[in-house]
Amino acid sequence: MNDLVAPMLAWYDAHARELPWRGEHATPWSVMVSEFMLQQTPVARVEPVHRLWMESWPTPAALAAAPSGEAVRAWGRLGYPRRALRLHAAATVIVEAYDGQVPSSYDDLVGLPGVGPYTAAAIAVFGYGERHAVLDTNVRRVLARLVVGDELPPVAVTSAERRRAEDLLPQDDAEAATWSIALMELGALVCTAAKPTCSGCPVADQCAWRAAGYPAYDGAPRKAQTWAGTDRQCRGRLMAVVRESPDPVPSSRLDRAWSDDAQRARCLTSLLTDGLLVETAVGYALPG
C-alpha cells in the first residue's frame, strides 16, 4: 500500500457524503443512472432527479418498457438530454443481452450505448467493487497536484495519467474501489479547481504541487464554456416547451420560445435529427 492510501481512506470514512447511488443498498443500476446523470452536471442538480428516476424505473427492465420520450421528460433540466436516450437504449440492451442485469465486466459495459471508458470503469468499480482506475475530472486534478505537481491535468486523458492512476491502486479490490471514490470526493470537496482548501486535505504533507509553491497551470489553453445565446441554450428552451406539454406543441409556441428564426430552425432540426423530438401532424412532441 502506498503512503497515500491509509490517510485517504480514513478521511473518506469521516467525510463521505450520503448519496443515493452510494452505500451497501445502492444497486449497480442506480450507480449506472448516476454516472449518466453526473456527466457535466453537479451533484446538487442530479440528486433529486436521480431519486425520482429510481422511483419510476428501479431496474433496467422498467426503463426499457417505458417510451423513450418519458425518459427525456423525466430528465428535466439536467441538460444534454441525449444522455436520457442513450440510457434508455442501454437499458434495452441490458434487458435483451444480459437478462436485465447490469453487466459487471468492463468490456461488456463499454459496449453499451452511451458508455465510454470512464463510465464503464465507474460502474464496474462503484457498482461491483472491481479494480479499475476511475479518471473523472476531480480524480485527474487531485492526482495532477498530488503526484505530478501540476495545478491542473492535461486537457485530455493521457496514457501516462492512466498508468499513474493504475499504479496507485491498492491491490485489494475493496480498498481500490474506496480509494477511487475517496479521490473523487476529495476533488469535489477539498481539492477544488478554483479554491482548494489544503488545510482540510489528509495528504497535504505529501502534495507535490503544495511543496512546489503552487505553480500556476501553464499547459494548453482551456475553453471556457458559455451558455447565453448558444445553440445549447436554444435547444434547451425548445425542449422545455415540449417537455412540459402533454400534447404536441405547434410551431407558433416554439416561435415564441426563441426569437432568432435561423438559430431556432437550426436547433429544431438538430433536435429532430438527434431523436429528442418528433414531428407530428399537429406539432412537435417527445418520441413515443
CA distance from start to end of the chain: 52
Residue 244 bears catalytic tag: no
The answer to whether the CB of 60 falls within 8 A of the CB of 94 is yes
Overall size of the chain counted in residues: 288
Contact 67, 79 (CB under 8 A): no
Q: Report the alpha-carbon distance of residue 178 to residue 184 in Å, rounded.
A: 10
Catalytic, out of 35, 151, 161, 175? 35
Q: 208, 246 in Cβ contact below 8 A?
A: no
CB-count exposure of residue 264 (10 Å: 0-12, 13-18, 19+): buried
Residues 6+ apart with CB under 8 A from 164: 143, 147, 148
DSSP states of 244-263? T-SSPBPHHHHHHH-S-HHH
Q: Which helix (H) or strand (E) holds 189?
A: helix 173-189
* Cell numbers that stand for 110 in this block: 463499454
Positions marked catalytic: 35
